[in-house]
Structures are given as C-alpha cells and as structure tokens.
Copies of this chain bind each other. A is one copy, B any other.
C-alpha cells in the first residue's frame, strides 16, 4: 500500500499558538484515495530541524506532504531548505504565479514589494502548483531511489488552510497519475442518537455477515454522531459499488431513522435540503443554546431560502414578553420544562410566521443544576403545521460541549420531525 507522511512547518504550531487543522484535512483526503498516512509531524522554522525530520519522513513513506513555512518574511525558510535538499542549481520567477501576485497586490491597492515578488521565485528542481488564492505557490519535488522503480514525491503547500485546500486536488491527481493505486471505493453512512457501543451491538450480526471485501470503520464524533464508513479496496468500482450498496440496503432496516445522511452531509445540511426542497420555512427559539442552532444553520450558504429568523430568549422576560410563554408555566414548571419549551416553539412560529420551529431550554452548566434537573438537562420542542412535540435529553459534559451537543440534538429532532419519522 502506498504510504505518506505529513509534515507541518512553523514555530506557531510548536508554541501552541495555532491548532494544526491542515494535517487532519490532508490525512482524510489521502485516506479516501487509498493512501495510508503513517506519520504526522510538526517542526520549527529551523534548517537543521526541517532537514532531519524531512529525511525521516522520506525514509518511511512514498509521499511526503509539507505545509507552511512559505511566507515572505525571513523566518520562513522551507523553500530554501527544499532547494538545498533536492540540489537546486538556480531559481527562477514562475510566470503564472508572478501574474497572480501582481493581481493580488492590485486588488489590495498596494505596490508589489520585493518580498511579494520573490514569492514567485522557485528552485529549478521543482514543478510548480499554482496558488490562485495567495502569493506562495505549491511545489512538487521528485527523487528516484536507487533500488526502487517508483519515484518518491514531496509536495510543499502553503500553510493558509484555504490556500492549501485549493491546491490539494491537483496534488491528489498527481499522486494518482504517478502511482498505480489500488482502486478504492468508500461510502459513509451518517447516524445520530445512538452511542458507538450501542450501535455496534445493534449491527453486530449485519457486520459479521459483511462480504469480506467490505471493510467497516466506526467514526464517532460528539457533535455529528457516529459515521459508519464502508470501504472496498482493490475491486472493480462497479462491483465495489454493488457490494456496498447491498450492504447499506441491509443496514437501513436496522438503523432506520437514525441514519440521517451520507458522505459529506451534516445535520444542518440535511435539514436545509428538506426544507428548501419542500419550500418550507423555519424559525428557532433558543434559551440555553444561545444562538448556536441558528448560527449552525446560517453558516451554510443558501440559508435564506428557508430560515426566516430566531429569538434568543435567554431571559425569562423575553420568553414571556416576546414568545408569549405563560408566566404561570414558568412559575409552576420552570423555564427548563416541556411546557415552557412547547410554548417557546409555538410562540416563535407564530411570531415569524414559519411552517416549522424548534425551541431549546436547558442547563448547560457549570451552575444552575439541581437534583431534579441536573446540569446537562435539555428540553427541545419542535412545532409543525398541526402539532408540537417535546423531548428531554440529559448529557454530561462541560458547558461548551453541552451547548454544542444540545444544538445537535435539536437539529436531529427537527430532522426527524420534518421527515415524519418521530411521533
């Protein structure tokens, strides 16, 4: 199996200033095309460090992908070090990248400084991967080990995540062109509401009966549920697709409505699709989630097609005044109650004149809990054309995690409701 190492370069990672999200993204994409990532490393902007750790990466894997260290300032030395490692004789200004740099400077209304112009200066021993979104081009270096028929590749990519992501498809294409990779087929089934251990018990018989080419991986995530990835390696794609499709047909009757989507979908994108396709509208009323449900929905482009708005009813006076929750309900049952959250959902639906609404009220912590309503208690209500339902969830976690998971539960129950899958 073709192997890869990922090496992120930059002091800002080693002093803990930024979280390295590039490695995870690249690892996932390599994995999808059947390349095994065997090592991930982060090193300082230091010549000896970069040389020694890249030597290690090159010795243990076919492919090395580096990100970072390509900025215009003097602390960024990756390009120079790579030129040295791969025996560059000279450098030249890459024409297309130079033009892009000029264009970027023009847009920003600044002159092309020497530092910026030199971003297009590349060692003669590399091929350039043009960066349309930034000044630093990507580069590919090749070497031909003595006793190995296939060349080894090293890709150097910019550290800015969206620039890196814009070049990565070209990287994957070059890898696929260079290596005769096993054909690979993945399909991911997304589930919500059943913990990993429970899920694995439920599908044990199905899992044991999977045909041998089909491999199953559990990918749990607190905010997006457990993803089940089915993979087939080394088989003809149409055959692999049939195997996986048959397996999924067997899975659906077991997990039923716990399955919310496939591959790159999310709870919010699924809700958005259903509402947009049905030309239905949504509003939200949030207490403990404090705007997180609305924020997740509106992070997706096109939210204005179905989302009219929301009320963050943090204070009880907002619940009673704006959402018309009966003060006696709060007096008698508390704000964290089925009765209150139902009135919140119905209130916001009427206020915003939408087809559906969702409401949350709970205790995110760290304080505010009691024996009867511990920290982690959440009431959710969903209201539709002719009915409103409520449901209680109890989680254990810290405040931020609780709020994030509260919002996932709310989105999931909303999904079930609008699909008529929950009574």
Residues on A close to B: CB < 8 A? 12-21, 23-31, 37-44, 49, 53, 56, 162, 217, 219, 221, 284, 286, 289-295, 297-299, 301, 303-304, 307-315, 317-318, 322, 351-353, 365-367, 397-401, 403
How far apart sit A366 and B293, CA to CA, in the bound complex (Å)?
Answer: 21
How far apart sit A30 and B389, CA to CA, in the bound complex (Å)?
Answer: 50
Smallest CB separation, A135 vs chain B (Å): 14
A-B contact sample (16 more), CB < 8 A, given A18-B221, A289-B295: A13-B23, A14-B37, A14-B40, A15-B37, A16-B29, A16-B31, A20-B20, A39-B43, A41-B41, A162-B398, A292-B295, A294-B312, A298-B314, A307-B314, A309-B314, A311-B311
Cβ contact within 8 Å between B295 and A295: yes
Q: Name the one of B18, B290, B303, B401 contacting A314, with C-beta atoms under 8 angstroms.
A: B303
Q: Can you give 30 contacting A-B residue pairs, CB < 8 Å?
A: A14-B39, A16-B25, A16-B37, A17-B28, A18-B221, A20-B20, A20-B23, A20-B40, A23-B42, A39-B42, A39-B53, A40-B42, A286-B291, A290-B295, A290-B297, A290-B298, A290-B299, A290-B307, A291-B298, A292-B295, A298-B403, A299-B399, A301-B366, A301-B367, A304-B315, A307-B315, A309-B318, A310-B312, A317-B353, A322-B352
Smallest CB separation, A111 vs chain B (Å): 14
User: For A49, what are the chain B residues with a Cβ–Cβ distance below 8 Å?
Assistant: 38-39
Contacts A26-B16, A49-B38; is A312 near B291 (CB within 8 Å)? yes
Cβ contact within 8 Å between B290 and A303: yes
Cβ contact within 8 Å between B219 and A17: yes
User: For A308, what are the chain B residues with a Cβ–Cβ distance below 8 Å?
Assistant: 314-315, 317-318
User: For A162, what are the chain B residues with a Cβ–Cβ distance below 8 Å?
Assistant: 397-398, 401
Cβ contact within 8 Å between A312 and B284: yes
Contacts A312-B311, A398-B162; is A318 near B15 (CB within 8 Å)? no
How far apart sit A18 and B15, CA to CA, in the bound complex (Å)?
Answer: 21
User: For A221, what are the chain B residues with a Cβ–Cβ distance below 8 Å?
Assistant: 17-18
Smallest CB separation, A57 vs chain B (Å): 10
How far apart sit A353 and B401, CA to CA, in the bound complex (Å)?
Answer: 31
User: For A37, what are the chain B residues with a Cβ–Cβ distance below 8 Å?
Assistant: 14-16
